[in-house]
Chain A
Amino acid sequence: MLNITINGRPAEAQPGETILEALNRASVKVPTLCHVEGLAPTGACRLCMVELEANHQLVPACSYPVAEGMAVGTRTPDVLEARRTILELLLSNHPDDCLYCLRNGNCDLQRLAKEHGIDQRLYRGKQTKIPLDMSGPALVRDPEKCILCGRCVRVCEEIQTVSAIDFVGRGCNAYIGTAFGRGLNVSSCIHCGQCVRVCPTGALVERNQVREVLRALADPNLFCVVQHAPAVSVTLAEEFGIQPGSDIDGRMVAALRSVGFKRVFDTSFTADLTIMEEGSELVHRVKTGGVLPMMTSCSPGWIKFVEQFYPEMIPNLSTCKSPQQMMGALIKSFVAEREGVEPRRIFSVSIMPCTAKKFEAGRAEMRQDHVPDVDIVLTTRELGALLRLCGVDLNAFEPEETDTPFGERSTAGKLFGATGGVMEAAIRSAHFLLTGRNLADLKIEPLRGLDGCKELTANIDGLEVKAAVVSGLGNARKLLDEVRAGTKQLHFIEVMTCPGGCINGGGQPLSTTTDAVKARMKRLYEIDGEETLRLSHENPWVTRLYAEFLGEPLGHKSHELLHTHYHQRDVVL
């Protein structure tokens, strides 16, 4: 333990930690722009400058190590002056577009300018002129609003090991771009949106489709339906300032009906269905000597990752569509039939914690007779925006149930929202499929928690099932390399593109912190602990759907509607 002083007050610090870590522990805030929690500091923005009292030197708190007896000042006149100048210089190359910016009111740069009382333009520099990149299905990049903090580049490279974007050029001509300045649509970007989540400005935003949905809702010829993913109900509250970890499922359903959706479905239902199909597929592969390990297919960023970086492992991917696409396909077939509405007249929206889902919904495989299974995907953030725009007060609603014919979900399906959830649900049901009995204890502790890599060997009546769960594609890459090298023998792998799974998805609120993600996860586990329907195969509505419409898992109808295929992608790697 080291003794230091912060602004004249004694504080404690650990040897080897940075000044910033010590400041955080002491709840003393300094602004940061380039720092990303969990990654090595780069010291690029210099906004975190603090003053060392010993020699009046300004040093970056994010990368400067503490030392015994160190005295730091975080608000000395020199510090405040330096910060202000840095901000003024950043603003000198900024388009001042706040009123026309998706980040208006929710922008780190704007907030810092306000906090530092910047009220006039002192520097007029040459402005970066680089066109918008609107080519991508999920994200829009505006390099003119970029302050070159490098957070997106590092998340893309270090967390996701995709490296779709990097610094291009030098000095005042530098900008963030793809290889050869091409559009994101032909780059290796997997549309995960993790870069959007760390971007401090409006330089990276989701493709906002709120207006398209509003237009559809107002169109009397369309029958608008909506589905919502398992991780949304435990997150949306934060968009309205309610504390992280609050589940507002029923009120959200009511709110969605109030803005005009005719039917509201829970994607957790098709998560249960995924378990039936994927579980059967796994058992089939194991029994018939099929390709193993089987890898989950519910995370579309991960699918694209395999298609472009590991095409030889495409046969390992489960052929199951993701829960979103299963629901989409059922809505435009089964529901269309029941409601007597032509599939073309159904406008199917899905609310997802994910930007890559926008890409997935647009895939050519995800349509029947040229009608897309899902018309528009909105992120949790966009739903927040839509409800605010419609003047919806969530507190004014009594909780409501989702609609039949998908009336109920199991908590196993709900667990899909967190890393390990698919595996936990799958093992619960696989145990039943193989033995005819349910597990004595349904809670599978080794699969829980935010760890990026988890493993489990389940012994199901003498049959050993080796499972691995990873989240964040850097972790997936490491595991795939081991599988490919033959150093790891596995049967089943669950991969979530985003670290921690959907609760930390690229479409989740920008205010997301690690604590918020933990709270969302805890809430999902609580739901699983509180409710009684905890097994996908016991969901009575799933049984009914098979009896009335689908036939059996992996049957003809399932293959037509619920399964798909993938293909190698020609992108710039």
Chain B
Amino acid sequence: MSNAVETVLARHPGAKRDKLIPILQEVQTAEGYLSEASIVRIGKHLNLPASKIYGVATFYNQFRFQPKGRFHIMICRGTACHVKGSARVLDTLTRMLKVAPGQTTREGLFSLEVVACMGACALSPALAINDEFFPKVSPTKIAKLLDKCRQQDAESAAVAVANA
């Protein structure tokens, strides 16, 4: 079991089931997502079956069950963005990437997350890739954004090979 999970659990000795959510949050912060192994390990610690933890964790949008991609895309589905067509943006993204919100593309390049409001209503519809912010996105803009990410990834891979 990863040390990160053990470190989190060590902070909660003798914890009961009421500590489940904080522990899940801390593990996700440490590991980026909730792996099956982490969930089973947390279950042992809290004496809770994995099915129960999985049930609780899937109830909340904040938890993910796959590692983040190298480019983590957060798309805002708040009210203002919705009015400005964020549903279409999300639809484009899921079609292009062939993943649903909460999932990561197979090669690990992109992951998708839906957030409620990023506080950028004036610039809606908005999305963020890693920590960079993109205002007024449209389906056409998205294709370009994704291409840029792919190019960037190829370049950094080439650099890594050269350095090795």
Contact = CB atoms under 8 A, between A and B. Distances in A.
A572 B40 contact: yes
Contact of B65 (A162, A180, A187): A180
A167 B58 CA distance: 9
B49 A573 contact: yes
Interface residues of A, number: 18
A280 interface: no
A188 B49 contact: yes
Interface residues on B, range: 10 to 19
A133 to B, nearest CB: 13
Contacts of A573: 40, 43, 49-50
A168 interface: yes
Interface string B37-53: 00110010000011111
Residue of B39, B43, B50, B52 ringed by the most chain A CB atoms within 10 A = B50
Interface string A401-433: 000000000000000000000000000000000
Contacts of A177: 51, 54
Nearest to A162: B49
B59 A166 contact: no
A572 B59 contact: no
B50 A179 contact: yes
Nearest to B56: A166
Contact of A166 (B39, B40, B51): B51
Nearest to B65: A180
A169 B51 contact: no
Nearest to B49: A163
Interface in A126-168: 157, 162-168
A170 interface: yes
Given A163-B49, A180-B65, A573-B49, A168 B55 contact: yes
A179 B49 contact: yes
A572 B36 contact: yes
Contacts of A169: 58-59
Interface in B2-57: 36, 39-40, 43, 49-55
A168 B54 CA distance: 7
Contacts of B58: 168-170
Contact of A180 (B49, B54, B59): B54
B36 A180 contact: yes
Nearest to A166: B55
Contacts of A167: 55, 59
B94 to A, nearest CB: 15
A178 interface: yes
Contact of B59 (A162, A165, A170): A170
A163 B58 CA distance: 16
A166 B40 CA distance: 15
A525 to B, nearest CB: 37
Contacts of A187: 51
A179 B39 contact: yes
Q: Among A157, A164, A188, A572, which residue has the most Cβ atoms of chain B within 10 A? A: A572
Contacts of B54: 166, 168, 177, 179-180
A572 B50 CA distance: 7
Contacts of B51: 163-166, 177-179, 187-188, 572
A179 B48 CA distance: 12
Nearest to A161: B49
Contacts of B49: 157, 162-164, 166, 179, 188, 573
B60 to A, nearest CB: 8
Given A572-B36, A572-B40, A163 B59 contact: no
A180 B50 contact: yes
A166 B36 contact: no
Interface string A208-219: 000000000000
Given A180-B36, A180-B65, A572-B36, A166 B52 contact: yes
A180 B51 CA distance: 7
A187 B65 CA distance: 18
A159 to B, nearest CB: 14
Contacts of B50: 179-180, 188, 572-573
Nearest to B44: A573
B104 to A, nearest CB: 15
A13 to B, nearest CB: 35
A126 to B, nearest CB: 15
A484 to B, nearest CB: 15
Interface in A323-348: none
Contacts of B39: 179-180
Contacts of B53: 179
A167 B57 CA distance: 11
A178 B53 CA distance: 11
B33 to A, nearest CB: 13
Contacts of A164: 49, 51
A569 B55 CA distance: 23
Nearest to A173: B58
B64 to A, nearest CB: 13
A271 B164 CA distance: 70
Nearest to B53: A179
B34 to A, nearest CB: 10
Nearest to A189: B51
Sorted nearest first, the 6 A-B pairs with minimum C-beta distance are: A163-B49, A166-B55, A179-B50, A179-B51, A166-B51, A179-B54
Given A166-B49, A170-B59, A180-B39, 7 more contacts: A157-B49, A167-B55, A168-B58, A170-B58, A180-B50, A180-B54, A573-B43
24 contacts: A157-B52, A162-B49, A163-B49, A163-B51, A164-B49, A166-B49, A166-B51, A166-B52, A166-B54, A166-B55, A167-B55, A168-B54, A168-B55, A168-B58, A169-B58, A170-B58, A177-B54, A180-B36, A180-B54, A187-B51, A572-B51, A573-B43, A573-B49, A573-B50
